[in-house]
Amino acid sequence: MTLILGLESSCDDSAAALVTSDRQVLAHIVVGQNDAHRPYGGVVPEIAARAHVEILPGLIRTVLDDAGMTIADIDAVAATAGPGLIGGVMVALLAGKGIALAAGKPLLAINHLEGHALSPRLVDPALGFPYLLLLVSGGHCQLLEVRGIGDYRRIATTIDDAVGEAFDKAAKILGLDYPGGPAIERLAATGDPGAVPLPRPLVGSGEPHFSFAGLKSAVQRAAASDKYRPQDIAASFQQAVVDCLVDRTRLALGQCAAPALVVAGGVAANLAVRAALADLAKSEGRAFAVPPGWLCTDNAAMIAWAGAERLGAGLVDQLDAPARARWPLDGEAGKVRGAGVKA
């Protein structure tokens, strides 16, 4: 059994966690910065990086104290090394390097997306490789075949916005709080998902890619028309997103023989998304796994767990491991026609 300290600071959440290789989360804490970014309606990189510098050291102290441990007790330190907002990424990575150097512990430089990708295995010991992963977060919307630790085949991606980004933009249009996903979900609960006619971009197309830019524009037009109640727009938007995710994932399942479908990333915290994909897996004869909500949105337990998996596989990093703004899980995957350059 090994004990891993996990550190995360790649976007607007500072987080630390202590996790064991036998799946115990001894301590974990996430401190968001919503108040700092709210006036801007999105994350301001410079503000985020400075806040991580102030917050993260205290969180490391807190998780060690909560677990009754010291740095001497850990076997390795796992820090997110990308992708993300580079100023923020450098905070956890440098903190991890400092601890590794001072305490003589191995460093694990973790791809944040691998943290999301492996997170279901932290809570589900029965989930083996391979599985089809729908990775839905603020910066990503991808379908990947997870073949093993560090071994990914990208089947599809978004050609414009990420799905979490679409939730955040729709929320902004409706005058809701940042981050938009949870706000849309709450408002949608009181609305009619069939009230507003909205497009389902790329549904029915031959490759399982995603597109959400047109949906966002349609939400903008619906809101500007003053014909619809905000809760009906929210519910109809959420339903359109769910329909897109289900249609695209069904197509990808036809291209991937993996026995299980897994959903991870911040948008996987959405109950409508979870329920629809669980139904899809059932109808396609696949097992289904989704982490609990706290493990879907950004956290350091998933980073520590990815570290435990990589340490177990002997994949230790050197102290010169780079911080990366862009870091695809499948380095071989080419650009999709129409795709932007989002990290």
The answer to the question of residue 232 lying near Zn ion (CB under 5 A) is no
Q: What is the DSSP letter of 314?
A: T
Nearer of residues 88 and 139 to ligand KG4, judged by Cβ: 139
Nearer of residues 37 and 200 to ligand KG4, judged by Cβ: 37
For ligand KG4, the binding residue among 5, 297, 310, 324 (CB under 6 A) is 297
Which residues on adjacent β-strands are paired with residue 25?
19
* β pairing state of 287-289 and 260-264: parallel
- Cβ-Cβ contacts under 8 Å for 146 (sequence gap 6 or more): 117, 118, 129, 130, 131, 132, 133, 152, 258, 262
- End-to-end CA distance of the chain, in Å? 35
Strand order in the sheet with 260-264: 151-156, 141-148, 131-136, 260-264, 287-289
For Zn ion, the binding residue among 160, 298, 309, 317 (CB under 5 A) is 298
Binding mask 118-157 for ligand KG4 (x = CB under 6 A): -------------------xxx------------------
Least distance to Zn ion, CB of residue 5, Å: 19
d(CA 202, CA 200): 6
For ligand KG4, the binding residue among 131, 152, 167, 212 (CB under 6 A) is 167
d(CA 235, CA 239): 6
d(CA 271, CA 274): 5
| Residue 82 contacts which entry, ligand KG4, Zn ion, none (Cβ below 5-8 A, type-dependent) | none
Least distance to ligand KG4, CB of residue 184, Å: 6
Least distance to ligand KG4, CB of residue 72, Å: 32
Nearer of residues 44 and 71 to Zn ion, judged by Cβ: 44
The answer to the question of residue 137 lying near Zn ion (CB under 5 A) is yes
Q: Which residues bind ligand KG4 (CB under 6 A)?
A: 11, 137-139, 164, 167-168, 179-182, 185, 265-267, 269-270, 297-298
Query: Residue numbers of the site for Zn ion (CB under 5 A)?
Result: 137, 298
